[in-house]
Structure 1
Amino acid sequence: MTGSPRALAAALLLAVLSLVSCSTVPTSSPTVQITQAPARVVDAVGIEPLPPEPGASPEGIVRDFIDAAASTVRRHPVARQYLAPQVRESWSDDGISVIGTDIALVTTDEGAVTLTANLIGTVDTRGVFTVAERGVVTRDFRLEQVDGEWRITNPPEGLIMLEPDFRRLYDPVNAYFLDPTEQRMVPDPRYLIRGESQPTALVERLIEGASAPLAAGVRNPLSGVQLTRAVTVEGQTATVELSGLPPEPSPRLAQISAQLVWNLQQLDQPRISSVVVLLDGEPVTPGGVPRLQTVEDWASFSPDIVPVDGVGHYIEAGSLRTLPGGEPAPGPAGTGVYGLGSAAIAADTGTGRLSFLTGVRTDPGGATLLAGQYGGELTPVLGAGTLSAPTVAGTRTEAWVVRNGSEVVRVPAGGPPQPVAAPTLPGLGRAEVLQLSPDGVRAAVVVDGQDGRRLHVGTVVRSDEDGSVVLRDLRNVTPTLAQVIDVAWADSGTLLVLAGDEGEDRIVPYSVRVDGWGLTPVSTSGLPGQPTSLGVAPTRQPLVSAEDSIWQLVGGTWVTLVRGAEPLPGTAPFYPL
């Protein structure tokens, strides 16, 4: 395993930022509805809205009411001033609809205004974002005159907020939970309002548990624990006071400590570098960690650990090759004897050494999955008419494929193939690509259905009772992308996608959070043609195949694997996990 978690996170962030050519959600995206539990913020933070102007028109009142949503003051008192007295106190501001900046306000009758805007998505009271289906939102406002001034009589439940205001006021953070093997933190994206209450709000979210789509696939050490007072921050040290644990909670206490440290250390306002955990008023130091715990003390729980020798691999004329110089991989697979068209490699979870190799060979009669020891001989383990490229995760030595576009199958190292139930897949279409997240808790699936090739993300749920595995709740996370051809995990919470550019007839890369927020085009500078497949892993440079050659992204430009040399021929790049 490589590097400290903070160094890994910083390197990954740098890599992702280098990909970005712009950082806005497309205005053609659907609207976002966001709800959040009552904030602890009492005083205004940043730019606060203005009260109604005397003599404002109905359209002006509606427009300024939307602007007044951009406030951090509890109960949004300025926004309430735009409402008629009979609804002013009863109006609930618990939800937010985030809309694009291209809005239209039209007076349809005296005291009636219709709002039309792009809908981006929804965020619930726990800060969980759900991307909306592509389209627009229409909202009819009714107004009446109160003492000669127009006021709204039918305000929507929750706030309507412009996307730039949402970005300004809310920080994207991760609520980290544990994968079922209890090896890694699994990110559950949340959006928390900025301010000093953020550490407390995040810990409260952890205690409440994971979001509905993810909850069945993760474990929460903080379940049932009570936060006895607000999280305090002095300097860069946060103190978390808990109760409700049994007298001898190990190893759970170690997991709780790791969970709190990994969550709080990501916050910037205030900046937190160490955490003190108090249980019933006494500091805890599980496993001999210092009283001031840091992420380095719990580095083994990093969500984005990669194998030390996990260099990039790709396929050339059926043979498995390695970066940077295109050398043959060890063993028969590197000679081309198996005629592979795609492959995946899993590392041993204990040693981190590359151990399990799977590859797909396609012949006129169908496709075959081969598996075996990395560097050793491979044997056929599964046949089908078609097989997707294999995929692995960093927490288990097993590979997954899709057989004949409809059946998900997993192949444990040294074991027979086993079916994976995917109850929501048949209604979507034919699965062309499947990629497990590094932690193995999620799967990204490219499905060819009625509306084209779409990207869905589902949760992997494993039963402790009978060992069955289910891929649940597949949901479209990029509704504005219709021509998706490939996907890979840049890290445990970020996807890279190859998809059609709506403005031009070409395939380009995109970056997007696993919940669908922040869809961002990635630079194509330097590429000789359209990319056809991609490979990426945490802290690793993204790879693509374009014009049957391999390219890597460095500093926002795609370059050859060896600087100054000709591009190496190849396809289907990937990194071991």
Structure 2
Amino acid sequence: MSPRSRRTTAGVFAPLAVALAVLCGCTALPTSGPVVQSRGTDHGDSHRASDIDARPPLDGASRVEVVAGFLDAMTAWPVQTSVAKQYLTDEAAAGWNPRQETLIYSDSLPVRESSGTVSVQLTAADRLDAAGAWRGAVGSEELTLDFQVSVEDGEYRIVDPPDALVVPASWFRQRYHQVSLYYFDQMAQILVPEPVFVPEGDQLATSLVSGLLAGPPPLAQGVVRSFVPSGLSIGLSVPVDEAGVADISLAGEAQSVTAEQAELMLAQLAWTLRQDPSVTALRVTLDGSALPLPGGVSQYSVDAAAAYGPAGPGGSKSLYAVSQGRLLAGSRDTDLDPVTGVLGDEGAGVVAVAVSPDNEQAAAVDRGGRRVRLATVDESTSQPAAQVLLDGGDYARPSWDNAGRLWVLERRPGGAVVWLYDGEGVRTVQVPGITGTRARELAVSRDGTRLVAVVRTAEVDAVVGARLLVGGRGQVRRAGRPFVVRAPEGSKITDLAWAGPTRVAVLTATAPGRLYEVDVVAADGATVGVDVVSTIVNGEVLGLAASPVEDAPMYAVYADRFVDIVRQESHDIGPDGISQLDYAG
């Protein structure tokens, strides 16, 4: 007997639903329910930030006043650094490069002078690189900014400013937000979003195109590739007309662009510009000549490159569940029934499962978590039996990427092992920060360039991430250095899932069996100026069902039901119940 689903309305997720609705653009949601605690976005006030005029140095200012004035001048809005340069010696002003990085500090102690050096002690700070990509927390040894000050033309001036824009977090939250620049994976099969921060304002289209032309951020070098020719510029701006068409006039010494390259270039521009709500289409000229558009159209819709989207082609929202050891398939509007393949048979013994993004294959953990088998979802005469991939270990739920690569975490007493099946064989991949640790769960992004895992340290859990470097023929070469996606907060993490191309949903047990917290965090680990959703809900939540596919609902999964967190619709399960529910991937 298969579980049957019946839709009802739930009231346990209201504040989370409201917060997620802000992210999704939804409205008219309930606002009541037994929620213990919730908090919303870290993003600043949605109202336009006030202009700030930087003040030049006063005659006769002391060393301390000059340094304090220099820091204040960097908060000019709209951003400009000409006044800040007036606090520097002529030589220092000529060499100062505030675009090299951004330091965002939460607070600082008063500027002080000691032995001719003026110092500023930051209590905590985070760093962005030159492209605006998040680089994480500044080390404790770098939190003290020392300034040498000398006399020039009778006034104190700074000799050695840091090559950075140094600004308070409160200022940054109000004036910057995170967007994605879209590049391709190395096989040019799927677009990969690279999150960066850009200033608020009416020049978003210009900021997006300028960022894309600059090429991938440093940490994405070797991970992604761009089909936008290097050495191009856009001049003053990217104008958007009343019809929503962005005119992109590119200039430079680019080589001729083939039709194939033009298609991929347009896909990058379209997905990047679709984040500007005022843009519906684009036109591109290259050194004055119109870039040929597919089909001979006069403008290219921002929705035209859906096939290259970061969630992969198709956008399936099919659901898969495990019930009584069998694999079930269905949707939120249909029953969950056993699949026709061998994993749907009685006695299949499935403990955990992951279905490939094309909905054709399933990797199942069985024998109490001690074996991993690969089988077709539906009955197949060409592959009637399941293939054993791994045996004899303690395996977490597998995870698929869009290229059909299967990732499996094996938990070992001496440290975790990451296994990769690429269609030809199974091998281990050394993933710094995950391999050899007390990692418990693992999930790969749909584009195949990011890996996140739950890692236990000192009895608390953190989410650790790493970028994956893949060759042009799809072979995984290595993993990059690890970074913290979500720092330990004292509770055990019981599940994680990709809730968007650059967002990870994390389920933690605040009070196991009674209270659970759902956090949706930035996959790059950014904690300032990003939309962060968090709430605590009642009941024994088994896990999360989430997907990077646009508009795919996120579900909280219980043994007898699954609940759409935004719509608050509860889908009841029959007497057999379920032990897992998830989307493909």
Identify whether the pair has TM-score above 0.5, normalized to the shorter chain: yes
The alpha carbon displacement at 1:370 in A equals 1.5
Q: Which of the numbers 163, 169, 173 marks the counterpart of 1:163?
A: 169
**Structure 1's 484 and 212: CA in aligned 2 closer, same or farther, altered over 3 A?**
farther
Instruction: Give, in whole Å, the separation in 1 of the partners of 2:517 and 2:534.
Output: 8
What is the percent sequence identity of the aligned residues?
Answer: 21
Instruction: Give, in whole Å, the separation in 1 of the partners of 2:118 and 2:304.
Output: 57
Q: Does 1:472 align with 2:479?
A: yes
Please list, as runs of the form range in 1=range in 2, the aligned pairs for 1:176-575 lying within 5 A after superposition: 176-194=182-200, 198-224=204-230, 226-227=232-233, 229-235=235-241, 236-242=244-250, 247=256, 249-267=258-276, 271-305=278-312, 307=314, 309-321=316-328, 322-324=330-332, 327-331=336-340, 332-348=342-358, 354-363=359-368, 367-376=370-379, 378-393=386-401, 395-405=402-412, 406-412=416-422, 415-422=423-430, 424-425=432-433, 429-449=437-457, 452-464=460-472, 468-478=475-485, 480-481=487-488, 484-499=493-508, 508-518=517-527, 522-529=533-540, 531=541, 533-537=543-547, 538=549, 539-545=551-557, 548=559, 550-555=561-566, 560-562=570-572, 569-575=577-583
2:104 corresponds in structure 1 to 99
List per-residue Cα deviations over 1:415-434 (Å, max 9, x = no partner): 45322532535776243222
Could you tell me which amino acid in structure 2 is paired with residue 375 of structure 1?
D
The alpha carbon displacement at 1:274 in A equals 1.6
Q: Is the 8 A contact 1:428 1:449 kept in 2?
A: no
Q: Is the 8 A contact 1:183 1:300 kept in 2?
A: no
Instruction: Give, in whole Å, the separation in 2 of the partners of 1:501 and 1:66.
Output: 41
Instruction: Give, in whole Å, the separation in 1 of the partners of 2:109 and 2:173.
Output: 21
Q: Is the 8 A contact 2:89 2:152 kept in 1?
A: yes
The alpha carbon displacement at 1:532 in A equals 5.2
Normalising to structure 1: TM-score of the pair?
0.78
Q: Is the 8 A contact 1:289 1:297 kept in 2?
A: no
Instruction: Give, in whole Å, the separation in 1 of the partners of 2:577 and 2:461.
Output: 27
Q: Which has the higher contact order (CA 8 A, sep 6+)?
A: 2
Instruction: Give, in whole Å, the separation in 2 of the partners of 1:528 and 1:369.
Output: 31
List per-residue Cα deviations over 1:108-129 (Å, max 9, x = no partner): 6487654333434211222222
**Structure 1's 245 and 51: CA in aligned 2 closer, same or farther, altered over 3 A?**
closer
Please list, as runs of the form range in 1=range in 2, the aligned pairs for 1:53-64 lying within 5 A after superposition: 62-64=67-69
1:24 corresponds in structure 2 to 42
Instruction: Give, in whole Å, the separation in 2 of the partners of 1:248 and 1:448.
Output: 49
Give the number of equivalent residue pairs. 531
Instruction: Give, in whole Å, the separation in 1 of the partners of 2:347 and 2:336.
Output: 15
Greater shift after overlay, 128-137 or 333-342? 128-137
Instruction: Give, in whole Å, the separation in 2 of the partners of 1:231 and 1:289.
Output: 26
* CA-atom RMSD in angstroms: 4.1
Could you tell me which amino acid in structure 2 is paired with residue 299 of structure 1?
A
Could you tell me which amino acid in structure 2 is paired with residue 434 of structure 1?
L
Greater shift after overlay, 422-431 or 288-297? 422-431
Q: Is the 8 A contact 1:99 1:117 kept in 2?
A: no
Instruction: Give, in whole Å, the separation in 2 of the partners of 1:523 and 1:567.
Output: 31
Please list, as runs of the form range in 1=range in 2, the aligned pairs for 1:69-108 lying within 5 A after superposition: 69-72=74-77, 76-83=81-88, 87=92, 90-105=95-110, 107=112
Instruction: Give, in whole Å, the separation in 2 of the partners of 1:513 and 1:133.
Output: 18
Greater shift after overlay, 209-218 or 52-61? 52-61
The alpha carbon displacement at 1:541 in A equals 1.9
**Structure 1's 84 and 213: CA in aligned 2 closer, same or farther, altered over 3 A?**
closer
Secondary structure of residue in 2 paired with 1:251: helix
Instruction: Give, in whole Å, the separation in 2 of the partners of 1:11 and 1:25.
Output: 15
The alpha carbon displacement at 1:336 in A equals 4.8
Please list, as runs of the form range in 1=range in 2, the aligned pairs for 1:34-53 lying within 5 A after superposition: 46-51=51-56
Q: Is the 8 A contact 1:560 1:566 kept in 2?
A: no
The alpha carbon displacement at 1:400 in A equals 1.7
Instruction: Give, in whole Å, the separation in 2 of the partners of 1:541 and 1:523.
Output: 16
The alpha carbon displacement at 1:73 in A equals 5.9
**Structure 1's 428 and 72: CA in aligned 2 closer, same or farther, altered over 3 A?**
farther
List per-residue Cα deviations over 1:347-374 (Å, max 9, x = no partner): 43xxxxx2111111143xx611111111
Instruction: Give, in whole Å, the separation in 1 of the partners of 2:110 and 2:362.
Output: 58
Instruction: Give, in whole Å, the separation in 2 of the partners of 1:107 and 1:347.
Output: 58
Secondary structure of residue in 2 paired with 1:517: coil
**Structure 1's 339 and 567: CA in aligned 2 closer, same or farther, altered over 3 A?**
closer
**Structure 1's 386 and 274: CA in aligned 2 closer, same or farther, altered over 3 A?**
same
Q: Is the 8 A contact 2:118 2:147 kept in 1?
A: yes
Q: Is the 8 A contact 2:450 2:468 kept in 1?
A: yes
Instruction: Give, in whole Å, the separation in 2 of the partners of 1:495 and 1:160.
Output: 29
The alpha carbon displacement at 1:399 in A equals 2.2
Q: Is the 8 A contact 1:217 1:441 kept in 2?
A: yes
The alpha carbon displacement at 1:71 in A equals 2.3
Secondary structure of residue in 2 paired with 1:516: coil
Instruction: Give, in whole Å, the separation in 1 of the partners of 2:433 and 2:304.
Output: 41
Instruction: Give, in whole Å, the separation in 2 of the partners of 1:14 and 1:53.
Output: 48
The alpha carbon displacement at 1:216 in A equals 1.9
**Structure 1's 97 and 263: CA in aligned 2 closer, same or farther, altered over 3 A?**
closer
Q: Is the 8 A contact 2:282 2:301 kept in 1?
A: yes
Secondary structure of residue in 1 paired with 2:173: helix
2:131 corresponds in structure 1 to 126
The alpha carbon displacement at 1:556 in A equals 8.2
**Structure 1's 177 and 138: CA in aligned 2 closer, same or farther, altered over 3 A?**
same
The alpha carbon displacement at 1:175 in A equals 1.1
The alpha carbon displacement at 1:389 in A equals 0.8
Secondary structure of residue in 2 paired with 1:257: helix
Q: Which runs of 5 or more structure 2 residues have no equivalent in the other structure?
A: 1-19, 30-36, 380-384
List per-residue Cα deviations over 1:300-353 (Å, max 9, x = no partner): 2222357565333333342334454762332243455222121111243xxxxx
List per-residue Cα deviations over 1:102-146 (Å, max 9, x = no partner): 332264648765433343421122222211167682334566799
